[in-house]
Structure 1
Amino acid sequence: MEFKTKTTSWLLTYPNPNDKIRIFCLPCAGSGASIYGQWHKFLPKDIGVYPIQLPGRENRICEDPILDMDSLVKYITNSILPYLDKPFLFFGHSLGARVAFEITHNLNSVYNKIPNCLIVSGSRAPHIPEPNPIHFLPDNEFLNAIGKLSGIPNIIFENKELMNLFLPILRADYTIDETYVFKDKSPLPCPIIAFGGVYDTEASEDEIQDWSAYTSNLFSYSMIEGDHFFFKSHVEELLNKISKIISSYKVPS
């Protein structure tokens, strides 16, 4: 397969056939794939980093966002299937962790494929619902609640046109996250490695540890300094840990 740099709908680039291993990255609520745009600089060159772009943001701004988990999982699964011909892992932060978890189950049950490892970050275990849902609130109250999480640049809140663009995306992502209902499934056969923020009010250390129930394989977790967005504020520390995880699964040259 010839390596192509043209964008796809769900991936920003076609995967490189020379990859030794691939990591597919799922964004948190309201974010686009570019949040992982610099990760390749911190990882070995033979590790392919492929952020997944959801409809309604960045290069897919003209598309309607998806409002339910099942549809999102099916679309992403079908999109990445051709590129699971190399060892692969998933990374997801917050909402992205739950999406990655459901994609992993879908691949395992329907296609008999499983990642070498599922890496979840800043997310309560799947059976723990959002204690304070906000997706149904009127616009002003909804935006005020999101503003308290401090993950969205002030320039967006201060610009009405930008806010009008982002509001449907935010509401869609929070709807998916907060209406998600875990359906009891057998533990995954792949390892799960979890990361949490020491000061994260969205996912406590105990809630991070609870991911251990979802694998029949190895489980480990690490807490990193920072709040819910530690994966951005402490990206080098996180990627040093992830690099070691990925390297342990690479096929030798």
Structure 2
Amino acid sequence: MTRTTDVSRFPPCRAEATPPPTLHAEAIQLFCLPHAGAGASAYRDWPVMLAPGIEAIPVQLPGRENRHREPALHSASELVAELRGPLASRAGRDFALFGHSMGALLCYELAHVLSALGKPPRHLFVSGLGAPHLPPAGPRLHDLPDDELLAVIAELEGTSPEVLAQPELVQLLLPLFRADLEVWETYVAHRGSLQVPITAMGGRHDPGVSLDMLSAWGSLTSADFHLAVFDGGHFYHHAAPDDVAAVLKERLRESGPVPAVAEKYGHGTRA
């Protein structure tokens, strides 16, 4: 079956002269959503890293890289509404979701929406983010003054010092960071339990996400739950890509397709 390709939302993240990696015929699709301020290129090495058994598909959000002319969206509901149709069309019968930080929140929402459409993911990987029903763990960041927000961004070590040292780039990046942080900081959890296996992943030394916060994801699924902890901070996956790949491959081998049934939603709040 031919799958719909949307280059704006699912860019190849490789040079045109570089051939795509060889995949098994039964390769599992893994849609990868980026952290705040980042684009699909955050996963530029993953297609080769995870082939041939996993087809890594980076997801591009509005306002960045090849979609830089589009306005950034400021709420999870807007982003999920924008992505659900293309994702449902692009996804085959066997797919999973991976998101880091803000991307984990979007993956959680998309897992609910796609499950309700009768197309649940095989597995949900949430990385670098505490469970969304927990109370906020720190102060609001998206409306900080520029210099204070830049200090927070630098401390997380997800943006190179060379980029942060260029005022022109900073002025382009700050509105995007603010929009993405607002997505998380204004989010209100109102979903019930998923019927999808969840693996929560994080760095042992992440200053903003404790192991207890990661473990709390286990209460959001009626299926299997795993916690994978790595050496490193918030961007542990940049430092240990082989270890991350091993966990992804192992969990996807262990988890089978989940029943394609619409779930029942409960109610609750983040606060």
Alignment gaps of 5+ in structure 2: 13-19, 258-271
Write out per-residue CA displacement over residues 182-210 of structure 1, whole angstroms, 9 at most, x where no aligned residue. Answer: 11x22100111111111001110000100
Count of residue correspondences: 247
2-side partners of 1:125 and 1:77: how far apart? 21
Matches within 5 A, 1:163-178: 163-178=170-185
Write out per-residue CA displacement over residues 92-143 of structure 1, whole angstroms, 9 at most, x where no aligned residue. Answer: 111111110011111122x122111101111101112242211011222222
1-side partners of 2:201 and 2:3: how far apart? 33
Aligned to 1:28, the other structure's residue is in SS state coil
Contact 2:47 2:55 in 1 (8 A): yes
Contact 1:21 1:250 in 2 (8 A): no
1-side partners of 2:249 and 2:111: how far apart? 20
Match of 2:36 in 1: 29
Q: Using a 3 Å threshold, how does the CA distance of structure 1 residues 101 and 152 change in structure 2: closer, same or farther?
A: same
Q: Using a 3 Å threshold, how does the CA distance of structure 1 residues 138 and 181 change in structure 2: closer, same or farther?
A: same
Match of 2:62 in 1: 55
Matches within 5 A, 1:215-234: 215-234=221-240
Match of 1:150 in 2: 157
Contact 2:35 2:99 in 1 (8 A): yes
2-side partners of 1:31 and 1:97: how far apart? 13
Match of 1:9 in 2: 8
Q: Using a 3 Å threshold, how does the CA distance of structure 1 residues 3 and 96 change in structure 2: closer, same or farther?
A: closer
Contact 1:187 1:214 in 2 (8 A): yes
After TM superposition, give the deviation of residue 3 of structure 1 in Å.
7.3
Contact 1:87 1:249 in 2 (8 A): no
1-side partners of 2:65 and 2:26: how far apart? 26
Match of 1:133 in 2: 140
Q: Using a 3 Å threshold, how does the CA distance of structure 1 residues 102 and 7 change in structure 2: closer, same or farther?
A: closer
Matches within 5 A, 1:48-197: 48-109=55-116, 111-128=117-134, 129-183=136-190, 185-197=191-203
Aligned to 1:50, the other structure's residue is in SS state strand
Match of 2:220 in 1: 214
2-side partners of 1:225 and 1:201: how far apart? 13
1:248 to 243, 251, 254: 254
Aligned to 2:223, the other structure's residue is in SS state coil
One-letter identity of the residue aligned with 1:144: A
2-side partners of 1:86 and 1:32: how far apart? 26
1-side partners of 2:40 and 2:147: how far apart? 26
Aligned to 2:124, the other structure's residue is in SS state strand
Alignment gaps of 5+ in structure 1: none
2-side partners of 1:103 and 1:17: how far apart? 26
1-side partners of 2:27 and 2:152: how far apart? 42
Question: What stretches of structure 1 move > 4 A for 4+ residues in a row?
Answer: 1-4, 15-19
Contact 1:20 1:250 in 2 (8 A): no
Identical residues among aligned pairs (%): 35
One-letter identity of the residue aligned with 2:162: I
Aligned to 2:97, the other structure's residue is in SS state strand
One-letter identity of the residue aligned with 1:139: D
One-letter identity of the residue aligned with 1:10: R
Provide the aligned C-alpha RMSD in A.
Answer: 2.1
